[in-house]
Amino acid sequence: MLGNIDFNCMVSYTWFLFSITSLCLVFKNIFCIHIFMLQKGRNALVDKTYRWKFPIPYILGDDLDLNAKGCVHQAFEMYRLKSCIDFKPYEGEKTYIKFEKRGGCFSSVGDQQDGQILSLGSGCDHKAVIEHELLHALGFYHEQSRTDRDDYVDIWLEQVTPGLEHNFNKYKDDFITDQNTPYDYESVMHYRPFSFNKNESVPTITTKIPEFYNIIGQYLDFSAMDVLRLNRMYNCSGPLTLLDQCAFEYPSICGMIQASSDDADWIHTKSSEGSEDHTLLGRCRDAGFFMHFSTMSGRPEETALLESRTLYPKRQIKCLQFFYKMTGSPKDRLVIWIKMDDGAGSVRSMKKIQTFYADSDHSWKIAHVSVEVGVKFRYAFQAVRGDPTASTGGIYIDDISLTETRCPNAVWKISNFSKIMETATTDTYIDSPRFYSPEGYGYGVRVIPRSTYTDYTGNYTGLYFHLISGENDVVMQWPAVNRQATLVVMDQDPNIKLRMSSARSLTTSEMLTSTGDYFWDNPSKVGTLDPSCDCYRGPTWGWRNFIKHFDLRRRNYLKNDDLIIFIDFEDITSLIKTEVPVTFRRIFTQFRFIVLYSV
């Protein structure tokens, strides 16, 4: 639904747009500590004695906000997806990380080997913030602390709030190491331009290359260099939960094979005008490939089966994500199969998982297929030719990934989003269709293409979550509390390890509306009728600064001009009580600390 926004019917929760350095909330007369430094002359980044052994034991303190606990688990999953870093619940180990709610976001650097605190205070319940603090715990300092930083950024100390100049110290290369990697303006460990400034309109950091000024201090996700350094430092041979991915850019097609028992083969095809791949969208000469099965000739019901290499899972649950396009007959089909170990060592037991049918939309679409298998297996794409006489095209697949994670609960694609951003006013909004959570709650998302929020980078797009009346409301629990809603704007980079998707989460509670009703009560009771869906949409809660227009335009968020949003809504009541007892012996005695923010 596209319409004008009525702000009287909305509650806007604005996540504070912190700079990395101001993530520590400041309380009167209390120092806010961001990172701790080791007492020894070498930090954990260099000294291998401060490297962790995996999995890292952790405790979620009961004083943590429930939303923060859910976000910690999200951050854990990102580490597993992009590295060999793993975490486990504490079971009496000597060394561990305890997450607590203290005065801000802070962490010690490296494994203290006797237990340590990682604080997630108010406003720290953000996946990228937690990734940042865990990188400190794993042994990383801020990017602008590098020995060579003056080659890449200018620090304007005269613009720094008096007494806070130490936050811009740089360190010698016998104290920290850059892992033999170039300076990274995009690192999640970099300060923003206005960090610790005394004049709100004058920056303390500027970039030698002006194009990176709006990039430093991003809080989307790990940068590609962050991932490289993390894996290099911990000698990771590969990520834990990424089983397979393929963009079909090479003739080897990632080890996939053509089945011998079918009628035809998939064809490895180069992008051409009118038939572009999804990876590069036909923008590169002699590059941009996909797999294609023509349905314009041959006999009806002929098939082609493309199988992956044999895979060896560690988890039961998996998510197969891929992009596909069907431009042929409405009777054409794309069938996803799993070929499993038959119990005797042979991978030959077949199971049909999901079927996709052609429709009038001939553009690239994203698909997610949930798979559960605990034995060695292959996944397969079967193309089925429908009616050749009615076909003018075929079936295309590209940019595949298979992860040992849950698929998103809902996916929403908004087409032509660049044009929408350009023409929208601040009271323009788009409402999603109704989605259902695994429990049965109806919900939706409201997108404000051009929100009222602006900063030095320009305009922002806002995202808001709301409940929607649905077919299960009579049996659902009301109000719907202790449920975490997570919204993700997908970075469509073909390499899942390099994606920097923007994610935010909120957790429902028993808060009240201005009229005294429960905010998350049955939408039929507290919502507003939407004639377009003949449903009631509840009050909205979200972020007017969800993502910058600057970021939307510079990465792969708008590939094919499609904005893709993932939504999850899950019960996290089980995380209310998570703390387990531990004996604190020498915490905060092994190191001194540097105050990064004080009043």
Structure confidence by residue, pLDDT tens digits, 264-302: 999 999 999 989 999 999 888 888 999 999 999 999 999
Q: At a CB cut-off of 8 Å and minimum separation 6, what does 507 contact?
A: 65, 66, 67, 70, 482, 483, 484, 485, 572
Given a contact cutoff of 8 angstroms between Cβ atoms, the answer to whether 470 and 495 are in contact is: no
Binding-site residues sit at 132, 136, 142
CB neighbour class for 355 (10 Å; exposed up to 12, middle 13-18, buried from 19): exposed
Q: Are residues 399 and 414 in the same domain?
A: no
Closest CA to 111 of 48, 178, 171: 48
Q: Which of 357, 374, 403 is the last residue in one of the domains?
A: 403
Position 18 pLDDT exceeds 60: no
pLDDT tens digit sequence for 413-425: 999 999 999 999 9
- Output the pLDDT for position 585: 54
Rounded-to-10 torsion of CA 99, 101, 107, 110: -20
Beta strands in 233-277 (DSSP E): 242-246, 257-258, 267-270
Closest CA to 416 of 479, 370, 363, 358: 363
What is the dihedral sign for C-alpha 365, 370, 375, 380?
negative
pLDDT tens digit sequence for 554-566: 999 999 999 999 9
Q: Are residues 467 and 533 in the same domain?
A: yes
Domain annotation covers residue 147: no
Q: Are residues 469 and 387 in the same domain?
A: no
> For residue 584, what pLDDT band results from cuts at 50, 70 and 90?
low
At 308, which CATH number? 2.60.120.200
Q: Are residues 388 and 439 in the same domain?
A: no
- Output the pLDDT for position 26: 29
Beta strands in 47-131 (DSSP E): 56-60, 87-89, 97-100, 105-108, 116-120
Q: Are residues 557 and 502 in the same domain?
A: yes
Region 105-132 average pLDDT: 95
pLDDT tens digit sequence for 458-505: 999 999 999 999 999 999 999 999 999 999 999 999 999 999 999 999
Closest CA to 50 of 583, 582, 591, 595: 591
> For residue 7, what pLDDT band results from cuts at 50, 70 and 90?
very low
pLDDT tens digit sequence for 242-255: 999 999 999 999 99
Q: Are residues 396 and 257 in the same domain?
A: yes
* Cα distance between residue 45 and residue 176, in whole Å: 6
> For residue 45, what pLDDT band results from cuts at 50, 70 and 90?
low
Given a contact cutoff of 8 angstroms between Cβ atoms, the answer to whether 277 and 322 are in contact is: no
Domain annotation covers residue 270: yes
Strand partners, 445: 465
* Cα distance between residue 477 and residue 439, in whole Å: 10
Binding-site residues for Zn(2+) sit at 132, 136, 142
Q: At a CB cut-off of 8 Å and minimum separation 6, what does 545 contact?
A: 14, 15, 17, 451, 453, 455, 460, 462
Position 575 pLDDT exceeds 70: yes
- Output the pLDDT for position 358: 93
Q: What phi, psi does 442 have (nearest 5°)? A: -85, 140
How many of the other CB atoms lie within 10 Å of CB of 578? 17
Position 588 pLDDT exceeds 60: no
Domain annotation covers residue 546: yes
Active site residues: 133
* Cα distance between residue 596 and residue 106, in whole Å: 10
Q: Are residues 317 and 415 in the same domain?
A: no
Q: Which residue has the higher pLDDT, 449 or 45?
A: 449
How many of the other CB atoms lie within 10 Å of CB of 339? 22
Domain annotation covers residue 159: no
Q: Are residues 295 and 442 in the same domain?
A: no
Put the strands of the sheet holding 347-357 in their side by side order.
Answer: 257-258, 303-307, 377-384, 333-341, 347-357
- Please tell me the total count of domains within the chain: 2
Region 22-32 average pLDDT: 31
Q: Are residues 470 and 511 in the same domain?
A: yes
> For residue 25, what pLDDT band results from cuts at 50, 70 and 90?
very low
DSSP for 6-64, written as a single string: -GGGB---------GGG-SPPBTTB-B--EEEESSSS-TTT-GGGPPPSSEEEEE-TTS
Q: Which two tokens mark 106?
A: 């802070």
pLDDT tens digit sequence for 125-148: 999 999 999 999 999 999 999 999
Domain annotation covers residue 174: no
Q: Are residues 389 and 414 in the same domain?
A: no
Strand partners, 486: 505, 568
Q: Are residues 355 and 438 in the same domain?
A: no
Residue 228: DSSP 8-state: H
Region 552-578 average pLDDT: 98
pLDDT tens digit sequence for 498-550: 999 999 999 999 999 999 999 999 999 999 999 999 999 999 999 999 999 99
pTM (2 d.p.) = 0.91
* Cα distance between residue 75 and residue 128, in whole Å: 7
Domain annotation covers residue 191: no
How many of the other CB atoms lie within 10 Å of CB of 210? 8
pLDDT tens digit sequence for 334-347: 999 999 999 999 99
Stated as kind and residue range, the H or E segment containing 232 is helix 224-233
Look over the chain and give the mean of its residue pLDDT values, rounded to a whole number.
90
Position 15 pLDDT exceeds 80: no
Given a contact cutoff of 8 angstroms between Cβ atoms, the answer to whether 328 and 296 are in contact is: yes
Domain annotation covers residue 306: yes
Least confident of 122-136, 360-374, 385-399, 573-587: 573-587
- Tell how strand 56-60 and strand 97-100 pair up: parallel
Domain annotation covers residue 359: yes
Residue 271 lies in domain:
243-403
Residue whose pair of structure tokens reads 């011998």 in the numeric block: 260
Q: What is the CA radius of gyration of the chain?
A: 25
Position 37 pLDDT exceeds 50: no
pLDDT tens digit sequence for 71-92: 999 999 999 999 999 999 999 9
At 445, which CATH number? 2.60.210.10
Region 413-441 average pLDDT: 98
Least confident of 44-48, 114-118, 324-328, 412-416: 44-48
Strand partners, 257: 307
Position 70 pLDDT exceeds 60: yes
Strand partners, 462: 448
Three-state DSSP string of 411-473: EEEECCHHHHHHHCCCCEEEECCCEECCCCCEEEEEEECCCCCEECCEEEEEEEEEEECCCCH
Q: Are residues 395 and 477 in the same domain?
A: no
Region 225-252 average pLDDT: 97
Position 168 pLDDT exceeds 50: yes
Q: What phi, psi does 33 have (nearest 5°)? A: -105, 125
